[in-house]
Structure 1
Amino acid sequence: MDVSATASPRRRITFIGLGNMGAAMASRLVDAGHQVTVFDRRPEAAEPLVALGARSATSVSKAIVGAEVVMTSLPGPAQVEALVVGDSGLAAGMQPGSLFVDLSTNSPEVLEGLASALAERGIRCLEAPVSGGAQGARAGTLALLVGGDEGLLDEYSGLLDPLGTVIHVGGIGSGNVAKIVHNLVSLVSVPILAEGFTLGVKAGVKAPALLEVMLAGAYGQGQVLKTIIGKVIMSGDFSQMTFGLDLARKDVALATSLAEAIGVDMPLSKLAESMYVRALEEGLEDLKSVAVWALQEQAAGVVVRREGE
């Protein structure tokens, strides 16, 4: 797909890390008309990019010569840190005034340290961990969770657009905090869904029917994120909730009782039930079924609201 209509000026970009995600993102940048030099420890990984018009370098030090922007897509913090501050690393070889953009899922603490080390050499830094998988990388529909100076992002306006939707989260490190939270919620939802589906199937409901119900119901319609969190929690107006705390506790108890009766182990559901019981014991009925959210806010010592709410 040709994405050369991007508003960003053509730039000299070095892209390091050509795995499934990196190769797809690098190809989008080539298609956008940028002058892209690629590097990967596996020389064969660069071949498809070269066929598209990219240049291939045989070392990191050669790859970054003359680069205005250096982007990395690597497995994790250790690899990024070694690349930036190691012997003959990016901090030593990138030109002052250039921009480093880490697209990896990284440690916020590591990112802050790297940004500081780069700044000492006059090199600017943004983080942009991505979400959307290899398919999204190929299609240019990723979510890019950008952390760093907003003015710097504005200066490079359009640079990341070929990759997907750019969301400025906050200062350096905040992009990876957001990515960590996103991945946590996504991954932890799998075992609780597994508890529910195994309960239903063992109780005699066909799996396709359960899936149809989940997709058609309030959960599948996105009401947790869009309404409960997006409207009720973010505003702090819990009076919008109509589903009572006692009813929520009752429904979870019905599930755990059924599980016990038919022999389905559901540790996460039991933990959730204990939170609803605790909310009732603490007299949080006025907060309705989202009282368990308030319990977590109390434990964390923060409230989750829009600014000014």
Structure 2
Amino acid sequence: MHLIFGLGPIGGNIGERLAELNREVFGFDLAPARVHEWAAATNAPASSDLARVDWSAVDSVIVAVRTADQVSSVFRSLQECCAERPLSVFVVSTLAAEDARRILPSGPDSWRVFEAPVSGGPHGARHGTLTTFLSGPAPTDAEERLLADISGRVFRMRNYGDAATVKLLNNTLGTYNLLSTAHMLNLAQRAGVPAKDFLEVIRVSSGQSWMSDNFSEVQYDLLLKDVGLLRGEVGSLPATDLSGDVEQVILQARGLLESEA
């Protein structure tokens, strides 16, 4: 049985996806209303009380909470319930790299803990098309099948913290794209071009990005959280300045790609 720890937009939709595939799932969340809604949507058991979980049936846990402190709390709760049992633990929460390196190795030796932050939002979680950044042990066949059910693509990394770094870099780039789109929409409006009309132009031309395609639905609060985590790790982020040496920056990055080919 798969225990979904956190029934928010990502965890709840992953759980719905697995239930739809006829996998046995149990949903847990501290919010009773969220538990009720998820149970009604999936026709699967759910609770805000861990005592109602049949721990003898649990073989994997998907942790989809928001903060590092919450992940640590989940680990403590799991250790109280099944410290001696074999368990595959997938932490899809986005952590700072330092927190991933600190928290994830703290599980019992009987656990197989995977750092598995995801990209693709609630839609990707619901339809099994998430991009998953994976660090941890080599997955077993059963773990590979679970990953295949929730992911469209899995990028594999060696060490705890690597997956977090890649996810944070990706989301920070997405935030740059989102902010740039917003700047251009505001500028278009000031120049006399309706912002709604210009967004349609962006979506079919060179300014297009995932962020422009989903501009009105993006959960920017989560992106800003990830930007803060990356800034805490690297210290400062590049400033986009079109009056600077744009060509040098572009050629330097292209050179990196060519040297790694």
Contact 1:140 1:163 in 2 (8 A): yes
Structural mapping, 1:1-309, within 5 Å: 12-51=1-40, 52-60=42-50, 62-63=52-53, 65-66=55-56, 67-85=58-76, 89-94=77-82, 95-118=84-107, 120-149=108-137, 151-152=138-139, 154-171=141-158, 172-220=160-208, 271-276=241-246, 289=247, 291-293=248-250, 304-305=256-257, 308-309=260-261
1:271-301 Cα offsets, whole Å, 9 max, x none, are 231233xxxxxxxxxxxx3x2145689xxxx
56-65 or 171-180, which moves further after superposition? 56-65
Q: Which amino acid aligns with 1:188?
A: Y
CA RMSD of aligned residues (A): 2.9
TM-score of the superposed pair, with normalisation by structure 1: 0.64
Name segments (4+ residues, structure 1) moved above 6 Å: none
Q: Which amino acid aligns with 1:189?
A: N
From the superposition, tell whether residues 23 and 215 of structure 1 become closer, same or farther in structure 2 (CA, over 3 Å).
closer
1:225-257 Cα offsets, whole Å, 9 max, x none, are xxxxxxxxxxxxxxxxxxxxxxxxxxxxxxxxx
1:12-51 Cα offsets, whole Å, 9 max, x none, are 1111111222222111112222221221112332234434
1:136-156 Cα offsets, whole Å, 9 max, x none, are 22233222222223x225551
Aligned residues: 229
Identity %: 22
Q: Which has the larger radius of gyration?
A: 1
Q: Which amino acid aligns with 1:77?
A: A
From the superposition, tell whether residues 28 and 35 of structure 1 become closer, same or farther in structure 2 (CA, over 3 Å).
same
From the superposition, tell whether residues 144 and 296 of structure 1 become closer, same or farther in structure 2 (CA, over 3 Å).
closer
1:205-229 Cα offsets, whole Å, 9 max, x none, are 343453344333333389xxxxxxx
Gaps spanning 5+ residues in structure 2: where?
Answer: 211-238
TM-score of the superposed pair, with normalisation by structure 2: 0.74
From the superposition, tell whether residues 61 and 304 of structure 1 become closer, same or farther in structure 2 (CA, over 3 Å).
farther
C-alpha deviation, 1:58, in angstroms: 4.5
From the superposition, tell whether residues 160 and 306 of structure 1 become closer, same or farther in structure 2 (CA, over 3 Å).
farther
Structure with larger RCO (C-alpha < 8 A, sep 6+): 2
From the superposition, tell whether residues 45 and 306 of structure 1 become closer, same or farther in structure 2 (CA, over 3 Å).
farther
Gaps spanning 5+ residues in structure 1: where?
Answer: 1-11, 223-267, 277-288, 298-302
C-alpha deviation, 1:115, in angstroms: 2.2
Indicate the residue corresponding to 2:223 in structure 1. none
Contact 1:30 1:36 in 2 (8 A): yes
C-alpha deviation, 1:106, in angstroms: 1.7
1:86-139 Cα offsets, whole Å, 9 max, x none, are xxx223433442111111122222222222111x43211112222222222223
**Partner SS for 1:160:** helix
